[in-house]
Amino acid sequence: MYEFDLLDERLRACLAERGIAEPTEPQRLAIPAVLSGDHLLLVAPTGIGKTEAAMLPILQMLSVEERGGIRCVYVTPLRALNRDLLARLHELCEAVGLRAAVRHGDTTQSERTAQSKDPPDVMITTPETLQIMFTGKNLRRHLTRVRHVVVDEIHELAEDERGAQLSVALERLVELAGEYQRIGLSATVGSIDEIGNYLAGRDRAVNTLKISAVKDMRISVESPPEEDVDQAAANRLQTDAKHFACMKRCRDLVEAHKSTLFFVNTRDYAEALGVRYHLWGDQLSIGVHHGSLSRDVRVQMEDDFKSQRLKALICTSSLELGIDVGSADYTIQFNSPRQVTRLIQRVGRSGHRHDAVSYGTVINTDAVETAESLVIARRAAVEELEKFTIRENPLGVLANQLVAMTLTDSRIDKDWAYAVITRAHPFRRLLRADFEEVLKLLAELHVLWNDEDSFRRKTTGRRYFYDNISMIPDERTYRIREVSTRGVIGTLDESFVASYAEPYATFVARGRTWRIVEVGEDEVLVEEVREIGATPSWVGEEIPVPYEIAQEVGAMRRLLELDVYPGDEHAREVVASFVKAQGDFPLPTDKRVTIEQGDGVIVINCCFGSKVNETLSKLITSLLIARFGESIGVQTEPYHIVLETPRNLTAKDVLRTIQETDPDSLHQLMRIVLGNSSYLRWQFLHIAKKFGAVRKDADYKMLNISKLMEAFEHTPMVEEAVVKTLDENMDIETAAAVLHRIHQGSIEVVVGPLSPIGQKAIGKRQELMQPRRADKAVLMALKKRLMSEDVVLVCMNCRVRRKGTVGGLPERVKCESCGGVVIAAVRPYARRDLAVLKKGASDEEELKALRRIYKNANLVMAHGRKAVIALVGRGIGPDTAARILARYHLEEQEFLKDILEAEVNYARTKRFWD
């Protein structure tokens, strides 16, 4: 008997019209399980009917139950999934006389009103919109009828604060509707029990069904060799021959298949590749898709890909989830996907049918990427997946939900609220004392009233709630708007705009290069040009390499048993040559760390992955800074840590620091280290917004975050910032285990000169670790450089020019000829600006340049030499200088730190191929 026989004949007829005669494996197993009414977690790859496995039996049950109200809530992490889902469910619902509707941030007011008056049987929504639904009187009444909740892509939600927020919402829904059936749909993950516990909450049992993700998957790993003829094209595209060889191989694969999903790990890499393919030639129809492009652009790219107007779509995790991508028959992953689960999910997007084989190739640009990809591909073939744990007691979410509760009732009993919240899996061990501390702080921040046995709504609570519905850290964004069409292309993060976006600057978006015409209050006007511009940086991009992956890469180096890995001959040769090139130098492996001394640089080669190396780098640099009192430049990667050091610091000092560190005190040490971390300050700002201590739209450049942290030093806000930073960026437990192994001798540590592997690690982006007291050496060096910069001063009154150095200027700058005080400071090499000042503006571009020069002059008039010092900073234009100078009360060291930060941000935008 087919499981479809358990369904209403109208549903079977609808399926038959779609050409579906028999169930897929997950449908065969899940349909009877859902009909039983039990809670269910279904773990299966994409494209084999997980949605129908859950919804067909639910629609069957809804069709025979009493009508009225919202009886099924379907939660997805993305609005785009909602659109796809509605299209898939519409016919099935109609077949049995039911209605489905979508409610999220893009839903029109008229649709919302209609849903409030006449609710659908199935409401498709996001975690954030579900929060809002609790606040509406009519919607809350409709939610009392809920009998089923489906959480799609539950693995994506469970790991972060959105998931913690949703878990509390599910318990609040129980208070409205009573117990209901819970169904979770998950891609293949390594922590199935943890996901099941998250879905269930406390004291509920969940059945788990797992379908293999890799039995119909073919994954290969390549590292294409460069050829002599590649160099000319590489030069034209401003890249190297190896990258061009990889691009050429990807192009061949795209042309050999019907529709190719082309995955990269970051948005800036997607843009960098997209613009180079575009400038290489228009013969290959290839698009770009990521989360910072506008919704209209993303939908257009999806539609063009489905209709095969595009042969390939360069994308990030924005297309990793279950969005319908039509007839994709191949997947390319450019460089290592960093994690096994990501590779399985991405390759599974091709052959997106239950009876199709999914094919994918990982193309790699160097030996380290190749080795990592080989390890991940081997692990994918046998489903050795990464484990994860859900962070307990995120206090920012707790604050959010306590305020949310006050919007649904005039007075909330504390015992009741505590009981509801601790039923949610992430809060199952929440202490009553922490619960009370958060309430106390919210009352002090005037977000709610806190009484002895209850808490109440305050008028400011509603604004707080709507400002903080989303638990995703928010950075102000600017729309990118094309001048000619007025269409919105996408968004830029504030940090990029502040440090780089000046008129005439160029940058890449949607795989095209755009010249900035004007920067407004909330948007950047642009026009398209055919050249290669800077690649924007966006927040939250890098995917961490797990410890287990890095350790196996180290073991691969040590053993060189490459035949067990699914790579082509050249990929294996690339790895073997990389190891052999080390020659007689000690080889860093899973069982050996090398500390290598160079000229002003020390390289620690250690195969411990992103989070462990991040922990060790922060520990080592902080202890060395405390000892030597000078700044240390640090760059951390999954397989090495690079220290740019003062000359009196040696590799033996690093070794001594490692040997003298007590692994059992690492957690406490790292809490102390974080007190001087830019991670912590940024995290604290986000937490402060989630508690209501800082307005959502506050300009972080105008805030003294250190002073703010001091004011809230012994509150849940600072504690939450510390715990969250340690959880997201560090792995203290594994780092402590590594230190134990070093102390016990099972990991060897060798000190020596720079080796070939160490040489390759040098020269990438650095983060400046500063000692607690301002490092005078760094800041004074910066000041000396700025003071020695040449500058041309032009009087905007009489146009007389004089050239000199910044250090030779008086505090208040005026014209020696006419006494005028409106003086523009222009770089000697800024020929266009000097020409405009000499002959005047004759077209729109020159007029804009003249306006910019007047901005510059107004700053000099207002701030004197201090403005000139800011304006000669690298990549600092008048808008950035104005933001720095707006903090006029700053002491000199703080002023120089702001300039240094702006220069570092500017430098970061200049990298294309990190």
Strand partners for 525: 481, 518
Tokens of 464: 């707080």
Residues 6+ apart with CB under 8 A from 643: 601, 602, 603, 604, 620, 621, 624, 632, 633, 634, 649, 654
| Model confidence at 154: pLDDT above 60 | yes
Q: Which helix (H) or strand (E) holds 644?
A: strand 640-644
pLDDT at 89: 87
Neighbours of 599 (CB within 10 A): 6
Residue that wins the pLDDT comparison between 705 and 249: 249
Task: Please write the tens of the pLDDT for every residue from 595-632.
Answer: 999 888 899 999 999 999 999 999 998 888 888 877 77
Q: Give me the mean pLDDT over the 887-891 stretch.
A: 60
Question: What confidence score (pLDDT) does residue 683 get?
Answer: 83
Mean pLDDT is highest, among 199-213, 676-690, 827-841, for 199-213
In DSSP terms, 803 is beta-bridged to 792
Residue reference for tokens 């008028």: 459
* Cα-only R_g, the chain: 29
User: In which band, very low, low, confident or very high, does the pLDDT at 770 lie, cut at 50, 70 and 90?
Assistant: very low
- The closest of 326, 329, 199 to 258, measured between CA atoms, is 329
Determine the pLDDT at residue 911.
35
pLDDT of residue 228 exceeding 90? no
Mean pLDDT of 217-232: 90
Handedness of CA 440, 446, 448, 452 (dihedral sign): positive
- In whole angstroms, give the CA distance from residue 8 to residue 18: 16
pLDDT averaged over the chain?
A: 84
Report phi then psi at 751, rounded to 5: -105, 135
pLDDT score for 773: 38
Q: For position 340, what pLDDT does the model report? A: 93
Q: Are 862 and 854 in contact (CB under 8 A)?
A: no
**Is the pLDDT score of 70 beyond 70?**
yes
* pLDDT score for 84: 76
pLDDT at 438: 96
Task: State the amino acid at position 597 in one-letter form.
Answer: Q
Structure confidence at residue 367 as a pLDDT band (50, 70, 90): very high
The whole-angstrom separation of Cα 221 and Cα 381 is 13
- How confident is the model over 264-274, as a mean pLDDT? 83
Whether 300 and 495 have beta carbons less than 8 Å apart is answered as no
Mean pLDDT value across residues 857-877: 84
pLDDT: is 854 or 914 the higher one? 854
How much is the pLDDT for 268?
78
Is the pLDDT confidence value at 646 over 90? no
- Does residue 605 contact residue 588 with C-beta atoms inside 8 Å? yes
The token duo for 353 is 């049918």
Q: What is the mean pLDDT of residues 768-777?
A: 41
> In 259-302, which ranges are E strands?
260-263, 286-289
Exposed/middle/buried for 188, CB within 10 Å: 0-12, 13-18, 19+?
buried
- Within 8 A by CB and 6+ apart from 345, the residues are 45, 46, 187, 188, 320, 321
353 has a pLDDT exceeding 70? no
Q: What is the mean pLDDT of residues 790-814?
A: 86
In this prediction, residue 908 carries a pLDDT of 44
Is residue 814 very low, low, confident or very high in pLDDT (cuts 50, 70, 90)? Answer: confident
Within 13 Å, how many C-alpha atoms sit on residue 12's CB side?
10
DSSP, collapsed to helix, strand or coil, labels residue 535 as coil
Higher pLDDT, 311 or 324: 311
Closest to 171 in 3D by CA, of 204, 128, 205? 204
Cα 673–678–681 angle (5° rounding)?
Answer: 95
The first and second tokens of residue 233, run together, are 């094209």
Question: Which are the contacts of 486, defined by CB distance < 8 A and separation ≥ 6?
Answer: none
> How does residue 323 score in pLDDT terms, banded at 50, 70 and 90?
low
Query: In this model, does residue 344 exceed pLDDT 80?
Result: yes
Question: Distance of alpha carbon 904 from its chain centroid, rounded?
Answer: 20
Amino acid occupying residue 393:
N
Q: Is the pLDDT of residue 257 over 50?
A: yes
Q: What residues are paired with 331 via a beta bridge?
A: 261, 360
Q: What is the DSSP string of 482-532?
A: ETTT--EEEEEEHHHHHHH--TT-EEEETTEEEEEEEE-SSEEEEEEESS-
Residue type, 693: A
Between 599 and 201, residue with greater pLDDT: 201
| Residues contacting residue 605 through CB under 8 Å, at least 6 positions apart | 588, 593, 594, 595, 596, 639, 640, 755, 757, 758, 761
Q: What angle do CA 814, 820, 823 make, to 5 degrees?
A: 60
Res. 772 pLDDT band, cuts 50 70 90: very low
Name the band, by pLDDT with cuts 50, 70 and 90, for residue 867: confident
Q: In this prediction, what percent of the chain has a pLDDT beyond 70?
A: 88
Whole-prediction pTM value?
Answer: 0.77
